[in-house]
Amino acid sequence: MQIDQSRSQFDRATEAAEWLRRQGAGGTSVAVVLGSGLGDFADHLEGAASIPYGDIPHWPASSVIGHAGKLVIGTLEGRKVLALSGRVHQYEGHDMETVTFAMRVLGRLGVPRVILTNAAGGISPQCSRGALMVIDDHINLMGNNPLVGPNDERFGLRFPDMTEVYAARLRAIADAAAAAQGVTIQHGVYVAVLGPSYETPAEIRAFRALGADAVGMSTAPEAIVARHMQMEVLGISCITNAAAGVFPEPLHHSEVMETARQVKGQFIALLEGIIGRL
């Protein structure tokens, strides 16, 4: 979709938020952004209404296989939940404003917290294929920041603090939910890269030296924008493959989708446990 540049991002996000409010999205407790292959969570919401992204004013469409492109409004554990099945990435050719538009809409809707999920490559040994990793912090190596450009004070500060992007409170809730549901989780640092080519083994060695446990092509811009608007953020990576060079085999998107399919039961149980504890 072509962005209407004649109106500010604030006005476009506000219009989309008001439109969603008329569809029943007001009073949402948490929004969940579902990463590659993880969209099935949306089917677990009760009394769900599904809205194609194309129906929402100004909302961008994703072209990636495994990203459905719909927003689902429903309830889970008595809380109103918005599930965003599909996101857009910078590597698709979108600018950062487009990549983070959904976060701006959630902010304008008054959604207090967001759970960002993704598929990621595992760098550290505990982040092996099929592991679920709570993101403790990120390293943004995308070469870009979604807050570049004039700052709209109605969203937040020019220089927002990033000392606790991923809320300690929500990470502790994830630990409690994992223990209660019998799901094993890891914790670690997510390094965000532009993509769409996967990394070279030398890049992965460099990221390991920098302190990264998992690598992916999303999440950091959304987390930055959510924090700009003072939303609480939780991040969960599904480790769909060992990062490049960890094993000799080449990487393929089909492995990402296959692993996501295998772990989705645990992933959904974890999300349900977290949402029930909010």
Q: Shortest Cβ contact with ligand HPA: which residue?
A: 121
Give the separation between CA 246 and CA 49, rounded to whole angstroms: 42
Q: Active site residue: 13, 16, 31, 89, which one?
A: 89
Kind plus residue range of the DSSP H or E element containing 177: helix 168-181
Backbone angles phi, psi at 74, to 5 degrees: -160, -170
Q: Select from 215, 233, 246, 275 the one that contacts ligand HPA (CB under 6 A).
A: 215
Is 218 noted as a catalytic residue in this protein? Answer: yes
60 binds ligand HPA per the rule CB under 6 A: no
Least separation, in Å, of the C-beta of 159 and ligand HPA?
29
Partners of 159 in the β-ladder: none
Q: Active site residue: 13, 68, 85, 92, which one?
A: 92
Residue type at 60?
Answer: P
Smallest CA-to-CA distance from 73 within 27, 25, 110 is with 25
Q: For residues 43 and 93, is the Cβ–Cβ distance under 8 A?
A: no
Least separation, in Å, of the C-beta of 193 and ligand HPA?
6
Q: Active site residue: 48, 253, 255, 269, which one?
A: 253
Using the 8-state DSSP alphabet, how is residue 84 labeled?
E
Q: Select from 220, 243, 270, 278 the one that contacts ligand HPA (CB under 6 A).
A: 243
Q: For residues 237 and 196, is the Cβ–Cβ distance under 8 A?
A: no
198 binds ligand HPA per the rule CB under 6 A: yes
Smallest CA-to-CA distance from 266 within 239, 243, 242, 246 is with 239
Is 119 noted as a catalytic residue in this protein? Answer: yes
Q: Select from 71, 99, 119, 278 the one that contacts ligand HPA (CB under 6 A).
A: 119
Is 29 noted as a catalytic residue in this protein? Answer: no
Least separation, in Å, of the C-beta of 31 and ligand HPA?
21
Q: Cβ of 264: how many Cβ atoms within 10 Å? A: 16
Applying CB under 6 A, the residues found at the interface with ligand HPA are 119-121, 198-199, 215-217, 240-241, 243, 251, 256
Give catalytic residues, as residue numbers. 36, 67, 89, 91-92, 119, 217-218, 241, 253
